[in-house]
Amino acid sequence: MRLDNKTVIITGAGSGIGRATALRFASEGAQLMLADWNESTGEETVRMIKESGQSAVFQHTDVTKPEEVEQLVNRTVQLYGKLDVMVNNAGVSQTENKISNVPIDEWNKVVDVCLDSVFLGMKYAIPEMIKNGGGSVINTASVAGIKGQKLVAAYTAAKSGVIAITKSTALEYGKQNIRVNAIAPGIIDTAIISGWRKADKWPILSTANALRRIGQPEEVANAILFLASDEASFITGTTMVVDGGTLLGK
Ligand SMILES: NC(=O)c1ccc[n+]([C@@H]2O[C@H](COP(=O)([O-])OP(=O)(O)OC[C@H]3O[C@@H](n4cnc5c(N)ncnc54)[C@H](O)[C@@H]3O)[C@@H](O)[C@H]2O)c1
């Protein structure tokens, strides 16, 4: 199995891409620590994994709180003895608004959850990976952070920031055999896009790529799996786009 003996933390594992990644990683033999601020959905992911005959542990974590992220990493190492892979995936969407109408609280919250959390995840995970001789970090960005997107400036800024700190961190820790990559999904069928589904523009939005459909969380999970695995051993500092061709237009 592709993740045999690998200890993995996945944040935002209670839903969508994080849950699909947890299920996929479990089927590849990973030792899993799942984190989310939603206890019931996080525990539900653990139940789903147990139903399929594998195991995982859940730790309630708000990824914006340094002490909780540190505790998440510490508990993982206490339980499994090491940390090999960190998937910084938790994120929130932003209410659509022109920049002059964005409430300051909302700007701070979106940047906190989508960008600061990735900093915290790497800050606490990487020292443990170094002790173990190396590791792989996968940060969830977005195509919005590459191409820009109107009315969600906080989200696009945060996701561009994720791509930037992925590159900086890859350069800082390559010598210690730590690979740091990002993924940039296009529109994926999860709870985060539920608002868009109700919008008039949904028929256009949902087919605005080469494949003319939205993606499934499992399709992103497969990309994360590749980057986490030893198959990606010479890949670092990159952002893998998983968007059905959205960046090409149509
Ligand atoms: N679905 C898409 O179209 C899409 C596109 C590009 C990028 N993304 C990114 O993918 C990642 C996963 O999103 P998703 O689509 O699976 O959405 P989702 O809403 O289904 O899942 C997000 C998860 O993150 C958790 N979370 C949010 N804030 C948290 C916090 N402070 N602490 C801990 N957990 C927290 C939520 O509880 C939820 O379980 C996000 O970073 C998102 O920005 C999604």
For residues 32-55, give the mean pLDDT.
98
Q: How many residues does the chain have?
A: 250
Alpha-carbon distance of 152 to 106, in angstroms, equals: 11
Per-residue pLDDT at 10: 99
pLDDT in tens, 5-24: 999 999 999 999 999 999 99
Tell how far the Cα of 140 is from the centroid of ligand 1, in angstroms. 9
Per-residue pLDDT at 83: 98
Tell how far the Cα of 175 is from the centroid of ligand 1, in angstroms. 31
pLDDT in tens, 119-172: 999 999 999 999 999 999 999 999 999 999 999 999 999 999 999 999 999 999
Does the structure show a pLDDT above 70 at 250? no
Tell how far the Cα of 76 is from the centroid of ligand 1, in angstroms. 21
For residues 98 and 195, which has the higher predicted lDDT (pLDDT)?
Answer: 98
Protein residue with least CA distance to atom 23, ligand 1: 12
**Ligand 1 lined by 142 (C-beta under 6 Å):** yes
For residues 60-81, give the mean pLDDT.
98
Q: Residue 167, SS3?
A: helix
Per-residue pLDDT at 173: 98
Does the structure show a pLDDT above 90 at 81? yes
* Chain mean pLDDT for the chain: 97
Alpha-carbon distance of 21 to 204, in angstroms, equals: 28
Token pair belonging to 176: 């210690």
Per-residue pLDDT at 249: 79
For residues 89-110, give the mean pLDDT.
98
In which band, very low, low, confident or very high, does the pLDDT at 109 lie, cut at 50, 70 and 90? very high
Percentage of residues in the chain with pLDDT exceeding 70?
A: 100
Provide long-range contacts, Cβ within 8 A and 24+ apart, for 36-44.
36/11, 36/12, 36/60, 36/61, 36/90, 37/61, 37/62, 37/63, 37/90, 38/14, 40/14, 41/14, 41/15, 42/13, 42/14, 44/14
**Ligand 1 lined by 239 (C-beta under 6 Å):** no
Residue 80 is a catalytic residue: no
For residues 26-50, give the mean pLDDT.
98
Residue partners of 78: CB distance under 8 A and separation at least 6:
none
**Ligand 1 lined by 139 (C-beta under 6 Å):** no
**Ligand 1 lined by 215 (C-beta under 6 Å):** no
Please report which residue ranges of the chain form alpha helices under DSSP H: 16-27, 39-51, 66-80, 104-111, 117-131, 144-147, 153-173, 194-197, 202-205, 217-228
- CA angle, 217 then 222 then 227, to 5°: 125
